[in-house]
Amino acid sequence: MRPYARPKVTLPIPQEDRIMTRVSIVGASGYVGGELLRLLLWHPEVTVVQATSGRNAGRYLYQVHPNLRGRTSLQFVHPDKLEPCDLLFLALPHGEAARAMQRYTGLAERIIDCSADFRLTDPAAYKRWYGEDHPAPEWLGRFVYGLPEVSREALRGAQYASGVGCNATASNLALLPLVRAGLIDTSKPVLIEVKVGSSEGGASSTDSSHHPERAGAVRSFAPVGHRHTAEIEQVTCLSNPHLSITSVELVRGALATAHAFAARPIADKDLWQAYRGFAKEQPFVRVVKERQGIYRYPEPKILAGSNFADLGFALDPESGRIVSICAIDNLMKGAAGSAVQCMNLMLGFEETMGLEFPGLHPV
Amino acid sequence: MRPYARPKVTLPIPQEDRIMTRVSIVGASGYVGGELLRLLLWHPEVTVVQATSGRNAGRYLYQVHPNLRGRTSLQFVHPDKLEPCDLLFLALPHGEAARAMQRYTGLAERIIDCSADFRLTDPAAYKRWYGEDHPAPEWLGRFVYGLPEVSREALRGAQYASGVGCNATASNLALLPLVRAGLIDTSKPVLIEVKVGSSEGGASSTDSSHHPERAGAVRSFAPVGHRHTAEIEQVTCLSNPHLSITSVELVRGALATAHAFAARPIADKDLWQAYRGFAKEQPFVRVVKERQGIYRYPEPKILAGSNFADLGFALDPESGRIVSICAIDNLMKGAAGSAVQCMNLMLGFEETMGLEFPGLHPV
Amino acid sequence: MRPYARPKVTLPIPQEDRIMTRVSIVGASGYVGGELLRLLLWHPEVTVVQATSGRNAGRYLYQVHPNLRGRTSLQFVHPDKLEPCDLLFLALPHGEAARAMQRYTGLAERIIDCSADFRLTDPAAYKRWYGEDHPAPEWLGRFVYGLPEVSREALRGAQYASGVGCNATASNLALLPLVRAGLIDTSKPVLIEVKVGSSEGGASSTDSSHHPERAGAVRSFAPVGHRHTAEIEQVTCLSNPHLSITSVELVRGALATAHAFAARPIADKDLWQAYRGFAKEQPFVRVVKERQGIYRYPEPKILAGSNFADLGFALDPESGRIVSICAIDNLMKGAAGSAVQCMNLMLGFEETMGLEFPGLHPV
Amino acid sequence: MRPYARPKVTLPIPQEDRIMTRVSIVGASGYVGGELLRLLLWHPEVTVVQATSGRNAGRYLYQVHPNLRGRTSLQFVHPDKLEPCDLLFLALPHGEAARAMQRYTGLAERIIDCSADFRLTDPAAYKRWYGEDHPAPEWLGRFVYGLPEVSREALRGAQYASGVGCNATASNLALLPLVRAGLIDTSKPVLIEVKVGSSEGGASSTDSSHHPERAGAVRSFAPVGHRHTAEIEQVTCLSNPHLSITSVELVRGALATAHAFAARPIADKDLWQAYRGFAKEQPFVRVVKERQGIYRYPEPKILAGSNFADLGFALDPESGRIVSICAIDNLMKGAAGSAVQCMNLMLGFEETMGLEFPGLHPV
């Protein structure tokens, strides 16, 4: 009997001579690529064999990802020198993965594509939101949507998984407990405001990412028309979710605040039931709702580097408005963390392996 | 002929022997009090005669408001020593002004109360949102709501004016162009998400304002049930505006993002017409909507210290969702700036006097 | 008799028909150019006639400087279209002013050059720190160093003035009270650590100004070898000031912390005397030294937009180490503010005209 | 053969029935206590049995340390209920540990005290810097100074270890490579400027930690006279290090910039040799010095949550000034991280165990 609480540790026995899964990362110089490297270099079951970058070929990883200094002697290789491996992570700009899928599937049996190329299952939705025909529609049906919270069983042993959109993920996780419990009046609008940090924009500097212009911003990035709407429609089956994205002063993190109206008169306990029911099957979902204290609702601040999605809610009993709140680290649960969680499921590892970091406080 | 543009300067001739209006500030050690001092000490038509603070009586103003160092030799006086003057600004905690109105009206002919005590005209609404009967309901009808954008004519020459709530002001100014143009489908919900800085919480430190906890926060401060809802109802006549407040990393500033649905099929030009129509009568309202560049929509970042309310909008033509955006400095247009603008109207000065500061960029 | 304190207001009577001084700004799209515009558009004695920008010719000023929206209808003109005026401000990249001085002096009787081109009087020092011969050494002697705190009399009525380096200005103002009072042991090293905000790097985005990389940075920008050392040598006559620049999370502002050793045993009162003696002749210098409270020493935070240089000090009586602290807004006292102050002196206006803004608190 | 680089993983096999070292934390509700919990709850060789807090007794850990939500079911216990265990961490306010050492040594064989009580070996130094006689001088000699980089061998198997001061640690690690290589001219002053984040001030809110006042600060916290000077003297044996502390906008992190003068003419290669020589024996010291890129010198930004101390340097060949730079996370290498590293040495575990987190980028 162990009378004292302690987090469950499930790391396997590392042995110099045992077989590790060989993974490579294509497009490893961006922020998602860097986060994949951070996770995979410490993952007990895999070995990172190659990290590609056209621009940075020959440079050490730490010259681009300074946190990895002294942790690995790997260098970026040119994409043309990509070799066969067991599993490939693709972290490329929009459209590039779809156009070269033939090549990548020839190099690895399993692929996780972090881009938006294979998230939507419906080519018509793709065309509507991305403004062109899908470059490789025949592949669409072969990719499992890479959010374990919605596709866990399909991901187990799967060959191909898509990544997830960070805004979509925060929105979907905010809405799913309500959707699954049938609590939303679908005749009324569902509105989601996502507040995001600057890392969402990627690693390339732009006029609007220039620090004097971006610092302290509360910037209406996409009041209407954001592409992640399509992923929310697909995952929640809500017919017209209204999405709005605002950039705030933060590097990592996203907070989705979803507003929906209750299908019937409800009380807090109905919501507690819905959220707890959803969370209890999800190793990375926590319900955050306190009557007092500082952290009464989910906050991205304490999630940087962690794979948690914290969910909370509030109810206006008079109007029946439900406010559902989800906080994530956009580079983790909103990108690389979910991708590694997918990998764990695809390869039969413990789902949480390599993703145990609980976040920092204060930070 | 002057061929070149130049802001209109309307400052009067300062003369040592001319009569200045004598104003005092009760509760001058808070953030609204400090901002009133900054504005009034430089106002060409008034002289600040007293600034009261129970806790700081005897200290120099600059010891509490460090920006005023070297600019004034005034000291805080104890509230009991308040003397008669021409106009009193009250910047007290909730409830205190209402309970002592008799005393203040005996001291000054005109009063501007920055608290929430006299904003609502309906005692029932007050009771509903503030949880108790109004302490001085007989005074409610005598106060003009202190937002010149809605009560300009009533404020001219008025004796008593209320202040405004900062979240309410950002929300109201976002909604008024739409309301006045009759563009909102009132059968559908109107949702307003306000993102606010930490100065909104006032000058007293709390556990949640402790810098390690507050820095980088995206904190669901009031997802439902915020009292400023009452002011939005009163000003916009919308029957059930849904308000949600999120604290973000920012000291000064508030951004309201209001979502409403169009009453009829509309296009951008209808919105342009509504916003321009509203703005053209308002010296401190600017319409901000650009197709490109960094500042395509209103942002509080460049408004710190200024009295502007910047308004912008976006339209989702398919769903008819209108997103109306208003940025203000919560301590200026959301509090002290509007109060001084009221004073200008009450005393017959140029409305913009002492409020010309255009904001800083970058900052 | 006026028993109540009130800041001195010295604005002249604006009249449509009176003669204003006509000024133009060359290179008006950068951050110093924008700040000059903010100051000059509201200056009671001047009219901005042209603002040039090669890249932005034809655009409205507010499209680059969003705070100026609605305040002026001026558009950027191409540098080739620069017309004669009374006074030219040059806010160009290093080297450009010097190479075209002939042209500019043909267009305006008076010139204030904000670049580093004419700050050093010694061509040898220029060559040492800028790595090349000065392009127009014959002009060096004709420019007065543009820091009124050191060249006030020479600036009165002067034809040409240089700008100042922001790090140099914070350092010089920190050291001058000690230098003038002869308190520094010059046989021991003098060390100056300047902490600066991101606006110092200018308006163009770079890899290191990308928000995710720059936010929260404490970055050793120039531990040794910074060019502003030359200006410190020239102004303070200290033979080898050791300068070190660190970038911190801040947009506007610079704090210089200078460490020197006392030439003889001293006490706080000697330092008070030195600082007060220096400050009393300087309209924009304030001494900040409190025993308690939050703002015991100078801080750039409350100086954004203001032209003040706040000075403070601490003494380690045992070792004789004097720590002298100067806070400025790098774009104001460190650039545009000092330039306008120079203009006021050159043209015989009140020295503080158009520069009265006291800063914001909190911000 | 494993041709590809991969960080060494040294985690042991967790087994339900194997014996774990039982540790408790006294004063676990502060920031250092919270960081100890984060590290120890995931440490493969220890079990946290108790975490005490007078004020929070009975509350769950996550109610104070929100990042631990869902990770542990432990509750704070009252200090009076502290039970025997194998090793005690004390994270108490100054003076409390020393006054109760008798009790704590009766409860645990080994103690690591994170306070300042047992850092100084000389009671006279303690009296000079802390203003009173040491409450338990007989214990001073029994504590090993808890910085493994200087006391590694003494810490192996030791019974008692002190913690370290965060500013002292950043300063000491900046200076030690130079001191050990004999590169410093000790006849000239050594000056250290430490820039620190707000978490250094602890978990209790104060007037100056109020977010509107602390945000964006560059605040001269202790220009002279900081107590950590004593630890720097003790560790470096420099007779009079001049320390200066400035608070900057940052929650976690400290950057020490030390300025010393070379004892003899040196070049960069001499410094490289000194730093590499120092770093090669230290698992958590990295040398950061790049000719180009963003992260040319150490930065605390990428160290949050990690135990690394990054060291870099610059040389002014003309004056012989050496600038030595050290970045740490003040709560990790500057407090809890070093304490756990000490524990690993005291208990014979792998020194780096439980401390492998490499930091985040971007963040």
Q: Give the model's pLDDT for residue C16.
A: 54
Task: Report the interhelical angle of A123-130 vs A228-236 (nearest 10°).
Answer: 150
The span from the CA of C263 to the CA of C271, in Å, is 12
pLDDT digits (tens, 9 = 90+) for C134-192: 999 999 999 999 999 999 999 999 999 999 999 999 999 999 999 999 999 999 999 99
Q: Same domain for C289 and C322?
A: yes
Q: Give the model's pLDDT for residue D282.
A: 98
Neighbours of D157 (CB within 10 A): 11
Record: contact B205-D204, CB cut-off 8 A: no
B144: tokens are 């003009």
The span from the CA of A338 to the CA of A163, in Å, is 7
- Of C143, C174, C194, the last residue of a domain is C143
Is pLDDT of B5 > 50?
no
Residues shown for chain B: 363
Whether the CB-CB separation of D79 and D26 falls below 8 Å is answered with: yes
Q: What is the CATH classification number for the domain harbouring D57?
A: 3.40.50.720
pLDDT digits (tens, 9 = 90+) for D295-307: 999 999 999 999 9
The span from the CA of D190 to the CA of D229, in Å, is 12
Task: Report the interhelical angle of B123-130 vs B228-236 (nearest 10°).
Answer: 150
Q: Same domain for B208 and B322?
A: yes
Q: What are phi and psi of C60, to 5 degrees?
A: -75, 150
Q: Same domain for B191 and B308?
A: yes
The span from the CA of A243 to the CA of A249, in Å, is 20
Residues shown for chain D: 363
Low-confidence ranges of chain A (pLDDT < 50): 1-15
Q: Does the beta carbon of A214 lie under 8 angstroms from any beta carbon of chain C?
A: yes
Q: Does the beta carbon of A21 lie under 8 angstroms from any beta carbon of chain D?
A: no
Cite the active site residues of A: 166
**pLDDT grade, residue D362 (50/70/90)?**
very high
Q: How far is C178 from chain D (nearest CA, A)?
A: 17
Per the annotation, does A60 bind a ligand?
A: no
Is pLDDT of C291 > 90?
yes
The span from the CA of D258 to the CA of D262, in Å, is 13
Whether the CB-CB separation of A210 and C197 falls below 8 Å is answered with: no
Q: Does the beta carbon of A267 lie under 8 angstroms from any beta carbon of chain B?
A: no
Whether the CB-CB separation of A173 and A233 falls below 8 Å is answered with: no
**pLDDT grade, residue B165 (50/70/90)?**
very high
Q: How far is A252 from chain C (nearest CA, A)?
A: 8
pLDDT digits (tens, 9 = 90+) for B88-100: 999 999 999 999 9
Is pLDDT of D11 > 80?
no
pLDDT digits (tens, 9 = 90+) for B59-95: 999 999 999 999 999 999 999 999 999 999 999 999 9
The span from the CA of C104 to the CA of C125, in Å, is 25
Nearest to C299 among D219, D224, D300 (CB): D219
Q: What is the mean pLDDT of chain C?
A: 94
Taking CA–CA distances from B245, the nearest residue in chain A reads A257
Out of D85, D114, D166, D342, the active site residue is D166
Per the annotation, does A330 bind a ligand?
A: yes
A239 vs A145, A224, A226, B82, CA distance in Å? 19, 16, 15, 62
Q: Does the beta carbon of B216 lie under 8 angstroms from any beta carbon of chain D?
A: yes
Q: Minimal CA–CA distance to A108: which of A49, A43, A39? A: A49
**Quick one: CA torsion of C99, C102, C106, C109, rounded to 10 degrees?**
80
Whether the CB-CB separation of D257 and C246 falls below 8 Å is answered with: yes
Would you say residue B10 lies in a domain? Answer: no
Task: Give the H/E segment covering residue B166.
Answer: helix B166-180
Q: Give the model's pLDDT for residue D317.
A: 95
Record: contact B218-A312, CB cut-off 8 A: no
Is pLDDT of B3 > 50?
no
Q: Which amino acid, C334?
A: G
**pLDDT grade, residue C5 (50/70/90)?**
very low
Per the annotation, does A248 bind a ligand?
A: no
Whether the CB-CB separation of C341 and C327 falls below 8 Å is answered with: no
Mean pLDDT of C58-66: 98
The span from the CA of A80 to the CA of A76, in Å, is 12
Q: Which amino acid, D178?
A: L
DSSP conformation class of A249: S
pLDDT digits (tens, 9 = 90+) for A263-294: 999 999 999 999 999 999 999 999 999 999 99
Q: Give the model's pLDDT for residue A19.
A: 85
Whether the CB-CB separation of B361 and C29 falls below 8 Å is answered with: no
Neighbours of A263 (CB within 10 A): 17
Is pLDDT of B12 > 70?
no
Q: What is the CATH classification number for the domain harbouring D186?
A: 3.30.360.10
Mean pLDDT of B259-286: 98
Cite the active site residues of B: 166
Task: Give the H/E segment covering residue C41.
Answer: helix C31-41
**pLDDT grade, residue C19 (50/70/90)?**
confident
Judge residue C267's burial from the number of C-beta atoms within 10 Å of its C-beta, 0-12 exposed, 13-18 middle, 19 or more buried.
exposed
Per the annotation, does A182 bind a ligand?
A: no
Q: Same domain for C102 and C177?
A: no
DSSP letter string over A107-137?
HEEEEEE-SSTTT-S-HHHHHHHHSS--S-H
Is pLDDT of B4 > 70?
no
Would you say residue D8 lies in a domain? Answer: no
Dihedral sign of CA atoms C259, C262, C265, C268 in order: negative
Is the model's pTM score more than 0.90?
yes
Whether the CB-CB separation of C246 and C220 falls below 8 Å is answered with: yes
Q: Same domain for D303 and D156?
A: no
User: Which chains does chain A touch, 3 or more C-beta pairs < 8 A?
Assistant: B, C, D
Q: Same domain for A63 and A198?
A: no
Would you say residue A152 lies in a domain? Answer: no
The span from the CA of C188 to the CA of C316, in Å, is 15
List, in order, residues 6 or more apart from D252 with CB less than 8 Å away.
A360, A362, A363, D197, D199, D300, D304, D305, D329, D330, D331
Judge residue C96's burial from the number of C-beta atoms within 10 Å of its C-beta, 0-12 exposed, 13-18 middle, 19 or more buried.
middle
B101: tokens are 């109105």
Taking CA–CA distances from C279, the nearest residue in chain B reads B70
The span from the CA of C52 to the CA of D186, in Å, is 54
Q: How far is C131 from chain B (nearest CA, A)?
A: 31
Is pLDDT of C83 > 50?
yes
Q: What are phi and psi of A256, to 5 degrees?
A: -100, 130
The span from the CA of A304 to the CA of A38, in Å, is 13
The span from the CA of B202 to the CA of B34, in Å, is 11
Q: Give the model's pLDDT for residue C9.
A: 39
Q: Give the model's pLDDT for residue C3.
A: 30
Q: What's the total number of domains in chain B?
A: 2
Nearest to B67 among C13, C34, C302 (CB): C302
Q: How far is A29 from chain B (nearest CA, A)?
A: 26
Range of the domain at D263: 166-330
Q: Mapping DSSP to helix (H, G, I), strand (E, B) and coil, where does residue C272 land? A: helix
> What residues pair up with B160 in beta bridges, in sequence order?
B111
Task: Report the interhelical angle of A337-347 vs A31-41 (nearest 10°).
Answer: 50
Q: Same domain for B194 and B134?
A: no
Record: contact B211-D210, CB cut-off 8 A: yes
Would you say residue B94 lies in a domain? Answer: yes
Record: contact C4-B41, CB cut-off 8 A: no
Record: contact D71-A302, CB cut-off 8 A: no
Is pLDDT of B6 > 90?
no
Q: Same domain for C217 and C90?
A: no
Q: Same domain for D147 and D215?
A: no
Mean pLDDT of B247-275: 98
Record: contact A210-C216, CB cut-off 8 A: no
Whether the CB-CB separation of D82 and D57 falls below 8 Å is answered with: no
User: In chain D, which among 129-188 make CB contacts under 8 A with chain B?
Assistant: none
Is pLDDT of D29 > 50?
yes
Mean pLDDT of B301-320: 97
Whether the CB-CB separation of B140 and B123 falls below 8 Å is answered with: yes
Distance, C-alpha C85 to centroid of its chain:
24
Is pLDDT of D3 > 50?
no
**Quick one: CA torsion of C205, C208, C210, C211, rounded to 10 degrees?**
-130
Q: Minimal CA–CA distance to A357: which of A35, A89, A114? A: A35
DSSP letter string over A269-288?
HHHHHHHHHHHTT-TTEEE-
The CA R_g of chain D, rounded to the nearest whole Å, is 20
Q: Mapping DSSP to helix (H, G, I), strand (E, B) and coil, where does residue B277 land? A: helix
Whether the CB-CB separation of C270 and C324 falls below 8 Å is answered with: no
Q: Minimal CA–CA distance to D359: which of A327, A7, A71? A: A71
Taking CA–CA distances from B252, the nearest residue in chain D reads D212
Would you say residue A170 lies in a domain? Answer: yes
User: Which chains does chain B touch, 3 or more C-beta pairs < 8 A?
Assistant: A, C, D
Per the annotation, does A30 bind a ligand?
A: yes
Q: How far is A81 from chain B (nearest CA, A)?
A: 39
Taking CA–CA distances from C4, the nearest residue in chain B reads B49
Q: Which residues of B295-327 are buried (b: 16+ CB within 10 A; e: fewer)?
A: bbbbbbbbbbbbbbbbbbbbbbeeebbbbbbbb
Q: Same domain for B205 and B111?
A: no
Q: Same domain for B202 and B133?
A: no
A150: tokens are 């919605």
Task: Report the interhelical angle of B166-180 vs B268-279 (nearest 10°).
Answer: 120
Q: Minimal CA–CA distance to A298: which of A255, A245, A331? A: A255
DSSP letter string over C275-342?
HHHHHTT-TTEEE---SSSS-SS--GGGGTT---EEEEEEEETTTTEEEEEEEE-TTIIIIIHHHHHH
pLDDT digits (tens, 9 = 90+) for B230-249: 999 999 999 989 999 999 99
Q: Which residues of B51-86 are buried (b: 16+ CB within 10 A; e: fewer)?
A: bbbeebeeeebbbbbbbbbbbbebbbbebeebeebb
Q: Give the model's pLDDT for residue A287.
A: 98
Taking CA–CA distances from B300, the nearest residue in chain A reads A218
Mean pLDDT of C47-53: 98
Q: Same domain for C86 and C215?
A: no
Is pLDDT of D67 > 70?
yes
B198: tokens are 């930490």
The answer, yes or no, to whether the previous bond of A44 is cis (omega within 30 of 0) is: no
Is pLDDT of D63 > 50?
yes
Task: Give the H/E segment covering residue C62.
Answer: helix C61-64
List, in order, residues 6 or more apart from D196 with CB less than 8 Å away.
D166, D167, D221, D245, D246, D247, D248, D250, D253, D254, D330
Q: Which amino acid, D305?
A: G
Q: What is the mean pLDDT of chain D?
A: 94
Would you say residue D12 lies in a domain? Answer: no
Would you say residue D111 lies in a domain? Answer: yes
Would you say residue B315 lies in a domain? Answer: yes
